[in-house]
Structures are given as C-alpha cells and as structure tokens.
Structure 1
Amino acid sequence: MDSFGPGAQIPLQGSAGQTVATNALASAAYRDSPIEDILKANNDWYESTVKKGKFSLFEPNLGEAFARAVVVRMLGGGRKPLIQSFGTEPQPVVEHCLSALRIRKQRDIRLTLITLVFGVAFLPGLLLWLAVFQLRRTMAGAANKKAGAAGTGLLVAVGVLAALVLVKLPVDGFLPLYVRAMIVAPVIGWFLAKRVCETTAKDLRARWDALLSGGGVAAKIPEAVPGSPGETAAEELRQSLEKLTAEQRSNVVFYAGPRGILGMGTRWGGWHLAEELKPRDGKEIHAFRTWDVIRPIHDQLKLLERGSLKTGFPTPSVTHWIVSPVGDGAKEVARPDGENIVMYQVKPHEIQRICNENQFGKGNRHYLGVQFVLWDGQLVLTMLVTVTALMHTLRIEVSGHALGPVHSLFLGKPAAKTKEVAKTVRFWETREIKLPLIETNEVVRLAVRAPLTWFPPVLDFLGGKIVLPEPFGLRHVWAEQPWKHRFMADDAIRAATPVMRAVHAAIVKVLEEHGVDTSAMAGSSFTADPAPKKADVYDA
C-alpha cells in the first residue's frame, strides 16, 4: 500500500496530440481493401457487421462502405446521439470521409458518361459482358478474389465466341454492324474506364499513405462552405459538422456496466478512502458540502504538471462529468435536454446541485475527471474522483479507466499488389510479380456501380454495406486493450499514484479548514490492488 502524503510525483512521458489515432481512422475512408476487413477490428464489446447485397458485382470495398457508413451515422438526419471520441477529433475523420466520397463521385461521373456512350447505346452487348463477369465472380467465390480456372475459362470462351461472331457475320447491313459494335464498344469503354479508375486509385492511395506517414493531407469538401444564402444543403452540412463538434465537447457520459464509461474504456481499477468525521480539539465541525471538497481537488489536479521534476506530467484535462447509467446491452443512449443543458453541456449550477444531492439512490452522478491523452491519441487515461458524504462518513473514490490504441487494421499503409509465381526453369523456386493496381474485375465493378452513386439506398441493397456497432463513437468501437502494450500498461498503472497523492493532499487541506480532525489521515491510504483487472465485472 502507498501512503499518499507529500512527495515527488512519478513522471509520465507523453504528448497531448491526437494525430495518430485521428489519421488512422480517417485513412479507412481511402482504402481499397475488401469490405470484410472491417470485421478484423471487432473487439470484445463492439462488433461491426457486413450486410451482404444481392449481387457481388455491386459490392463496395472497405473505403467506400466505411466512408458512407460514418457520414450517414454522424451527419444523417434524425441520427441517434453519439459517444464522445476521446483521444480523437471526430470532425476531421468525417471530413476525410466526405472528401473520399467526393473524389469517388467525380470518378463516377466520368465512368457514368463512359457507360452511357459505350454501354447503354450498345445495351445487349453490355448486358452480355456483365453477365459473364457476374458469373465469373460467383464461381470465384467472392469479390476481390482471383477467379478459379472455370471462371477464367468461361471468360476466354466468351472472348473466342465473340471473335468468331465478328469474323463470320456478313459485312453488309445495319444489324451485323450493330452486333459487331455492341461486342467491341464495351471493351473500348472498359479500356477508358480503366484509365479513369487508375488515376483515382493513385490519388486515394496517396492520401491514405500521407495520413499514416504523418505528413498530413487536407480534406477537400467545398460543398460544406455556403457560397450564397440560398445554398441550403451546404449550410445544413456546415451546421451538422458544428453539431458534431459540440456533441464531442459534451460533459455528459454514460456508464454501461462491464463496458465501463462509453468512450473512456473499461474500469481497470478502483481506490477508496473512507474517514469518520470528528471535530478537532472538541470544537464543532464547520458545515460543508461535497462540492466544497470537490473544488480544492479540482484545483490540485490542475497543478499535476507542475512537479518538482522537470519532466513531470503531461498537461492534463480536468473536467466535471455528469455520468448517466445505461444498460450493458443498450444499443443507444439519450442525451439530457432542458433548460439546464446548453449545446450538450450541463450548466455549472446544475453540476453543483448533482454533486451535492445525487450521491445515493436514483439519478445521475457527478465525477471529477483528470484525463491524459498519450501516445499521440493512442492511449487515453482517465482517473475519475467522486465524493460521498453519508452521515458522519466521508468517502472518496478514485477509479481508473483506460482506452487503448485503435486496431492495427487502421495503421496499415498501402502496399503494392503482388503475387508469388513459380520460376520458369527453377520451378521449385518462386518469385514475386507486381499486379496491376486496377484489375479487370475492379474496373467492371466500379463502372456498374457508378450510375447508381446518385441512389445510395439502391446501391446498398444491391451491393451491401457496413453496419456500425452501437452505441457508436469513432474511437471506442475500434479500440484494443492497452494491456497488450507493455509501456502503455505501465503508463496506466503509474498515473494512479500521483493523482491520488493530489486528491489526498486536497482532502486533508479542506477538512482542516472546516475543523475536522485529520490526524488519523496522515498515514492512511487509498485501498486497492494496483494490478489491472475487470473492475466492473463483479464476482458475486
């Protein structure tokens, strides 16, 4: 056990930056990997799912599905409340999703024109080629997988048959010429479409790589900047982004049982200090309320970075939180509203009332939190302090919450597409060959999706989509446990002692000022096992 009297603070190295986690999540909007990859990022509490469509030919890739799912969930009309993304700035992530959708929309406009000229005008030939590619993909098993021998053989057979038709048909007459054109025109359209797709793919991959390399890349969303008072769509988008930022700054959080506080991570440890209040020197205790104890603790926690060692703590964020309980399996939360709420923020006088009155029984609770954002947003440590006064007992509890790094899926940089093949002479050895950035199947998939870009619900029905886990927040649903990273685990454990020293010093000072005998507190300590555990899973 530690004795929390005066002493040197244990330093923590870290940065208040949030760039790594934010950029990692934003990079998902530009990715071209299979949509099923999002399932790899599922954790113990939150699972994204992939809703399959009717035809694999219309199936989106990860970037297309992710960007649309995030934008609809976070900016869509009538959306459910969001969970704060601690350690991350959600607005830049959403802006990159909008930017990725815009880049793809511009590509789809060009592909649609190509489809109209070389496809719709020669519709029978287009339908024939599409049927072949759909059958080939079905035989291969799924999108973005190499077609099997049977599928490739089918494509070759159709190509040979088309060549025979071109040669054997009579030269004179409109119909023979049209039949030739309807076979050749989709192939010419495919060649032009491939050039368009390759240009866009290089742009998207460059942005993906820049975000993860730390160089940064700007999200281009001119549609969010109204050019005139009559541009209602741009004004609504701008207001939605402002609303997103306001909700991110809300001081109301939700406790979901074993899942901990949503957005802050699971509770890995708890400490408590309970003291019977006795007057000093036989005099009466000057009356005080729990808010009178919380305020000095707040002031003391603000001074954590001013340690006697030069390294010291990183600058903490100290906030008064209103915590509302929700069920473990709850799929949505309800943010409070009324005259005591302004822009998702509970007013100070209401915070003080909850602190003084809501300590036992029903109702929301008040917690004072000190939060450290470390490892460029990859680790979020939150220590929460609550004060309870019941009869002649003052009880102070400190709980530690840790939100780990975003899943490694979001940290992977774009890699060249390659495959291993056997050498011609030394057939027992293999070598890597580079594959085209955009393959034939991909060009066809993008071309058939392009005209439906203006009808997203239809595209979702035909190709499928990502279903995000609820209650949704960008950060916590794709977070891993910090205990898998040795230094992150050490940082979480080491942060507890200095915080409790500060809390202990503030409590002794305020009690002495109100005439309470604090002699017994000089050697007292917060009681807890310092090892991390699932503190909210009660083994009754």
Structure 2
Amino acid sequence: MTVDGGYGDIFGPQVPRTGDEGQTATFALASAAYRDNPVEEITKADNDWHQSTVKAGKVSLFRPNLGEAFSRAVVDRMLGSGRKPLIQSFGTEPQVVVEHCLAANNIRRDRDNRLSAVMVLCGLIFLPGLLVWLLVFAIRTNIDKRDDRRASALATTLLVAVGALAVIFLIRMPFTGFWAWYSRAAVILPVVGWVLARRICENTAKDLRGRWAGLLSGSNIGAKVPEAVPSSPRETAAEGLRQSLAKLSAEQQSNSVFYAGPKGILGMGTRWGSWQLAEDLRPADPAKEIHPFRSWDVIRSIHDQLRMLERGPLNTGGFPKASIRHWIVTPIGENAKAVSRPEGTDVEAYQVKSHAIQDICNKQQFGAGDRHYLGVQWTLWDGQLVITMLITVTVLHSTLRIEVTGHALGPVNGLFTTAPEAPSKEVTKSFKPWETRTVKLPLVTTNEVVRLAVRAPLTWYPPLLNWLGGSVALPEPFGLRHAWADQPWRHRFMADDALRAATPVLRVVHAAALRTLEENGVDIEKFGVRSGFLSTAVQDASPRKADLYDA
C-alpha cells in the first residue's frame, strides 16, 4: 500500500492482491459505483438464485441513480457496524470494490457540498420562488415520463409558459419597496442557482464517467479514500474504517463456505457434475489385515498429487497454477437470508485451524455437522470464470467413497461491463425527411440538475434521503461476486474450460487414492475397475443441475 503526502491515490493502482487474474471482474463491479444509469437497472443483473430489490421512496424527485444507490448499499453492507457475515467473492477483490464505492461517495459528497451552498444562497433564502420552480419541474418531470411525443412537447411548453409568466411578473411587479426587490430575487436567483448547479454537476459527471470508462478499459484508476488512513492515534473514525477494511480482507480469505441446496456452494456456483467411486475395503492378502488409516491420509495424498496438475509430459500450456485448499462446508437452507460462521477456539481470523479440519475430515461423515472438502480452484478469464473441483473421502462400515464434484461460477452480468456512452438521439433532417442525423445531448439534463440540487442538502443524513428517495436492498446472503454472476454455459470457451478440467482432476484423485490404499494393504482391484469406468464416463461430461434431485 502506497501513501502520498497529498492524499492522492491513497491505495495506489487498484490491482487485485492475488495477481491480475481478477482484474476484469473486480473492476467491472467497481465501475457500478460511478454509473449514472437508472437505479432500476440493477435488477436486470440478477440471476436465478439472487435478486436485488429496489425500494421506492416517497418523493420521486429524491430518487437515487444506480451509482449512488449501489455505492451506498455496498459500503453500508460490507463496512457497517454489526454487519452480518459476508460470502467470499472468489475471482475478485471485494476490498477494491468497496474502496471505489467510498471514493465515489467522496466525489459526490464534494459535489453535494457545493450544491448545498448554491441551494442556500440561491434557494432557501428565496424559498417562495424556489418552491414554485420546484413545483413546475416536478410537474414537467411527471409529464415527460410518458413515451408520447405530445407529452414531451407539453412538458416543454409548460416550462416556457411559466418562464413567460415570470418575465411578466418581473415587469408588472405588484409590490413596492423591499418586497419588490425580494420578489424579483426570488424569481431570478433560483434560475441563477440552477446555472451554477448545472456547471457543478457537469464537472462531476465528467469525472465519474471518466473513472467508469477507465476501470473498464483496464486503466489503473486509483480509489481516493484519505479517511481510511489515520494520521494520528486520535482519529478513531479513520482507524475504525481501516480495521473494517482489514476485517473484510480477512473474511475473504476464510476457509469456511456454505452449501445452500440447489444454489450450490455460495460464492463457488452451482454443482454441475458429480462422480463417485465407492467399493469395499478388502485386504490384498487374506492372511493379513488392512493397515489402519484414516480419511485424512487419503486426502493428504490427493492434496500432494493435485499440486502436480500444472505439470505435463508435453510443453503445450495446460493448467495454470491452481489454488488448493481445505474447505469446511456448512449446510444452510435454500432460502436462508443470513449465514453464521464457525466460532470458538478452533477458529482464528475466520480460519478453521488445521487440527479441527482433520477432526472434521475423519469423524463428521454422517449425520449433523459440518463437512470437509478438498478443493482445487482456477480463476480464469481475468476473474470472469471460477472453476472449483471439490473432493471428499468418507468411510462408512467397510465402504470407502471418493466423491468429486464440479462447481462453476460464470462471468459478472453484462450490465457491469457496459462502457459509458455520450447521450445522443437521432432526428430527422429538415430538408431530407427520409434521412436522420445524430444530435449530441447535454451530459446532464435539466431534470438531473434539479434532482441533484434538491438531494444535496440531505446527503448528510442518508437514512432520511433513503426514506424520501428510495434505496437498493442487496441479495442475501450477500457476496459481491456470486450475487451478479451469470451461468458460464452460454460462453463456448468458458464452458469448454469447465468441462475439460473434470477429467484430469478425477484421474489424479483416483490415482493418488489407489496408491494410498495399496500402501495400506487394501485390495484395489475393484477400485481400479470402478475408476476405469468413471474415467470413461467423465470424458462425456456435460453440465447438469446436479443438486436438483428428481424425488
């Protein structure tokens, strides 16, 4: 982490800390903090399992746009005091996304401070005139919402008519003395304030859109979050924010995950394939007994062999380096709205300790409780595809079962990868009605300036602003990556990568397990035959809904 003396890009170029494999997905999600689309578009990014909710406000004039609602909701959910546990965002760096949300909030807060000063000087002091102009704009906005061209023309006519009445009022003033000058100011200064507000809004919009475009193009757009760097021990707020960001990073590295039935393992995607090898444990020599061993011994042997996946007899590329970890999987309800991470002496900094992992692997194989899985995971396509193969070994009576399952998490929804476009519309040419031309529109519309100016004085108290204008309720249990992930099967090469990973992983797992069984005096003939059958079947792998049982 780099810190410059002028509080520039405090966190430096926001490159994901685990390498560059998560750059595209991370920056795509971070770009949502700078967007100015309608807030309702967030629901278009929802998938079959996780849905966002747009809560309507009391007054449409105070409604937020997508970037305002998204950045506020993400910061509150991921850094708020007493927040509920989060789901890991595999393939992305959630801290980077949160830092950009904080930076976007800071940019808007600076804009709102300037707009608030304009509102006080040109609006609140001349409240009667301000209220009249706001009423006119509110009526114009409601009329302009209709798609009918006549409605749009009527809205423009209304504004022109009110402007004409204002001019007549100024010329034929019914008051004299102080009230005459006050009335003139009440008519003119709100318009002057609107002109100043428009310039402020346009400058900020250019900055936000520049960052939006920069993130999607791969530029090193840094998040400016000076309030997360304490300059003295007495800055408790800055220290609290720094600790919250550190807590977020620690939870991202947790080895505890949650299985939500048909939704699969949250953060890893749905289970699309399952292959099971189960045979009886018989001694290779009838005169001798099997040498005692545990499930952990088989898992440890598989773990060592999986490290060799990136090596091959031919120099043809192949697997990149994989992440191989032991996972503790907790079952939750399909429609559960919250999760609870393991606690106690066996857990430290969200990590289940090694001795507890071994106990769960060896003992908790039937009935209630958490389960152990060994996972090999690849983050591909710049974080847009996360492939996870999970292995579990169980022994019930004299039957040993080795199960390999495939999970895949697809790319983030296309909403997050769309670049900003300059506002424009096509109009018919005056002398050639059979032809059209493109006309550039203002970056910030009249209605948008009014909306931002009205919201500005209330941004100091977000709960009131959310009540008046509305907000976004994020899908729970919440994790940045899986909440807006699409299925990978619509992308040909992503689907191929997911399917191709199954065969070599399955064969390595079986080879390592059979070697351990043979070393411990187990007759592996039936295991070998069964492994051969599975090795043949896995070559015809096809994605299916493995968690939807036809029962």
Q: Is the shorter-chain TM-score for this pair beyond 0.5, marking a shared fold? A: yes
- Alignment of structure 1 residues 412-451 onto 2, 5 Å: 412-451=418-457
Which range moved further: 41-50 or 349-358? Answer: 41-50
1-structure distance, mates of 2:542, 2:47: 22
2-structure distance, mates of 1:129, 1:219: 37
Q: Alpha carbons of 1:222 and 1:146: their partners in 2 closer, same or farther (altered >3 Å)?
A: farther
Checking the alignment, whether the CA contact within 8 Å between 1:137 and 1:147 is kept in structure 2 is no
Shift of 1:248: 0.7
Partner in structure 1 of residue 54 of structure 2:
50
Partner in structure 2 of residue 261 of structure 1:
265
Checking the alignment, whether the CA contact within 8 Å between 1:56 and 1:138 is kept in structure 2 is no
Letter in 2 for 1:261: I
Partner in structure 2 of residue 539 of structure 1:
550
- In the alignment, does 2:78 pair up with 1:74? yes
1-structure distance, mates of 2:20, 2:178: 72
Alignment equivalent of 2:191, drawn from 187, 192, 201: 187
Partner in structure 1 of residue 491 of structure 2:
485
Partner in structure 2 of residue 5 of structure 1:
none
Alignment equivalent of 1:315, drawn from 318, 321, 331: 321
Q: Alpha carbons of 1:206 and 1:142: their partners in 2 closer, same or farther (altered >3 Å)?
A: farther
> TM-score, normalized by length of structure 1?
0.95
Shift of 1:142: 8.1
- In the alignment, does 2:177 pair up with 1:149? no
1-structure distance, mates of 2:408, 2:512: 24
Partner in structure 2 of residue 38 of structure 1:
42
Shift of 1:80: 0.9
Local SS of the residue matching 1:127: helix
Checking the alignment, whether the CA contact within 8 Å between 1:404 and 1:480 is kept in structure 2 is yes
Local SS of the residue matching 2:420: coil
1-structure distance, mates of 2:345, 2:511: 36
Alignment equivalent of 2:349, drawn from 308, 327, 343: 343
Residue deviations 1:425-475 (CA, integer Å, cap 9, x gap): 112322110001011111111111110010100100111111111111000
Checking the alignment, whether the CA contact within 8 Å between 2:458 and 2:464 is kept in structure 1 is yes
- Alignment of structure 1 residues 466-481 onto 2, 5 Å: 466-481=472-487
2-structure distance, mates of 1:146, 1:289: 78
2-structure distance, mates of 1:493, 1:369: 16
* % same residue: 65
Checking the alignment, whether the CA contact within 8 Å between 1:330 and 1:471 is kept in structure 2 is yes
Letter in 1 for 2:114: R
- In the alignment, does 2:231 pair up with 1:220? no
2-structure distance, mates of 1:479, 1:221: 27
Shift of 1:43: 1.0
Partner in structure 1 of residue 303 of structure 2:
298
Letter in 1 for 2:312: G
Partner in structure 1 of residue 292 of structure 2:
287
1-structure distance, mates of 2:310, 2:121: 66
Local SS of the residue matching 2:194: helix
Which range moved further: 21-30 or 129-138? Answer: 129-138
Local SS of the residue matching 1:272: strand
Shift of 1:193: 0.8
2-structure distance, mates of 1:47, 1:341: 32
- Alignment of structure 1 residues 374-523 onto 2, 5 Å: 374-523=380-529
> TM-score, normalized by length of structure 2?
0.93
Which range moved further: 258-267 or 303-312? Answer: 303-312
Local SS of the residue matching 2:480: coil
Partner in structure 2 of residue 326 of structure 1:
332
Partner in structure 2 of residue 237 of structure 1:
241
Local SS of the residue matching 2:285: helix
Local SS of the residue matching 2:193: helix
Checking the alignment, whether the CA contact within 8 Å between 1:274 and 1:394 is kept in structure 2 is yes
Shift of 1:312: 2.2
Letter in 1 for 2:304: D
Letter in 1 for 2:297: D
1-structure distance, mates of 2:356, 2:362: 10
Q: CA RMSD in A?
A: 1.6
Residue deviations 1:317-338 (CA, integer Å, cap 9, x gap): 0010000000111111111111
Letter in 2 for 1:53: G
Residue deviations 1:42-99 (CA, integer Å, cap 9, x gap): 1111111111111111111100000000000101111111101011110000000000
Checking the alignment, whether the CA contact within 8 Å between 1:108 and 1:450 is kept in structure 2 is yes
1-structure distance, mates of 2:395, 2:50: 36
Residue deviations 1:486-512 (CA, integer Å, cap 9, x gap): 111111100001101110111111111
Q: Alpha carbons of 1:146 and 1:441: their partners in 2 closer, same or farther (altered >3 Å)?
A: farther
2-structure distance, mates of 1:384, 1:451: 52
Letter in 2 for 1:452: L
Partner in structure 2 of residue 10 of structure 1:
none
2-structure distance, mates of 1:16, 1:358: 37
1-structure distance, mates of 2:200, 2:377: 47
Alignment equivalent of 1:121, drawn from 125, 135, 144: 125
Checking the alignment, whether the CA contact within 8 Å between 2:71 and 2:104 is kept in structure 1 is yes
Letter in 2 for 1:537: L
Local SS of the residue matching 2:110: helix
Alignment equivalent of 1:21, drawn from 25, 28, 38: 25
Residue deviations 1:107-134 (CA, integer Å, cap 9, x gap): 1111111111111111111111111111
Letter in 2 for 1:417: P
Partner in structure 1 of residue 9 of structure 2:
none
Partner in structure 2 of residue 4 of structure 1:
none
Gapped regions of structure 2 (runs ≥ 5): 1-18
Residue deviations 1:150-180 (CA, integer Å, cap 9, x gap): 3222211111100100111168511111111
Checking the alignment, whether the CA contact within 8 Å between 2:277 and 2:527 is kept in structure 1 is no
2-structure distance, mates of 1:499, 1:46: 30
2-structure distance, mates of 1:173, 1:309: 95
Alignment equivalent of 1:173, drawn from 162, 170, 177: 177
Gapped regions of structure 1 (runs ≥ 5): 1-14
1-structure distance, mates of 2:448, 2:20: 41
1-structure distance, mates of 2:346, 2:213: 45
Local SS of the residue matching 1:78: coil
Q: Alpha carbons of 1:129 and 1:512: their partners in 2 closer, same or farther (altered >3 Å)?
A: same
Q: Alpha carbons of 1:164 and 1:75: their partners in 2 closer, same or farther (altered >3 Å)?
A: same
Shift of 1:520: 3.4
Local SS of the residue matching 1:454: coil
Letter in 2 for 1:225: V
Letter in 1 for 2:311: R
2-structure distance, mates of 1:492, 1:407: 18
Residue deviations 1:337-396 (CA, integer Å, cap 9, x gap): 111110111010000000000001111100000000000000000000000111111110
Letter in 1 for 2:96: P
Checking the alignment, whether the CA contact within 8 Å between 2:271 and 2:545 is kept in structure 1 is yes
Q: Alpha carbons of 1:448 and 1:300: their partners in 2 closer, same or farther (altered >3 Å)?
A: same
Local SS of the residue matching 2:343: coil
